[in-house]
Amino acid sequence: MIDSDVEDAINTQIRNEYYSSYLYLSMSAYCESKNFSGFASWLRKQSEEELGHALKFFDYLIDRGGRVVLDSIEQPSSEFGAFLEMFEEVLEHEREVTGMINNIYDLAASKNDQATLVMLHWFIEEQVEEEKSAEEVVEQLKLAEDNPAALLILDRELSARTSE
């Protein structure tokens, strides 16, 4: 049986992963409204990935005999300003998620919950990738500045992202 504090932390993280998915889907809709379908596609794939993260925690909790309790998901913003600001928000959000995962790791360590520590290794590696891919887009947007031609080329490049 899983420790109840670890169970609560995982339930909260399920909600957080759904919020991430919701936030990126909202960003995707914003890009669609600006007719940048490549940025929109990238964010939609990111949104789908977050659903996978939520379900990974969901399945893990059930495997451990825990009880999944779904919390309400906060409404995300619908306006995101310039693309650079928006992707800086993605990066900032992923850094926050990394902190959340690290906190669950510390909690599980304090409870000698080795199974949860092993499960979290996947997420710790995943967060390295999440931060890296958001950082890459931020750096490319900094180079593009407000040049419409450069933004269109980047939009086309991002449309090629495949789901992992």
Q: Where does this chain bind Mg ion (CB under 5 A)?
A: 17, 50, 53
Residue 80 backbone phi and psi in degrees, to 5: -130, 5
CB of 144 to Mg ion, least distance (A): 26
Question: Nearer to Mg ion by C-beta: 32 or 131?
Answer: 131
Question: Nearer to Mg ion by C-beta: 3 or 131?
Answer: 131
| Nearest residue relative to Mg ion (C-beta) | 53
CB of 76 to Mg ion, least distance (A): 14
CB of 20 to Mg ion, least distance (A): 5
Token pair 């947007």 in the structure block, residue: 141
CB of 29 to Mg ion, least distance (A): 19
Question: Nearer to Mg ion by C-beta: 108 or 151?
Answer: 108
Is residue 39 within 8 Å of residue 83, measured between CB atoms? yes
Which residues, in sequence order, are CB contacts of 87 under 8 Å at separation 6+? Answer: 134, 137, 138, 141
Assigned token pair, 112: 């000698």
Which residues, in sequence order, are CB contacts of 131 under 8 Å at separation 6+? Answer: 91, 94, 95, 98
Question: Nearer to Mg ion by C-beta: 36 or 127?
Answer: 127
Token pair 């925690």 in the structure block, residue: 57
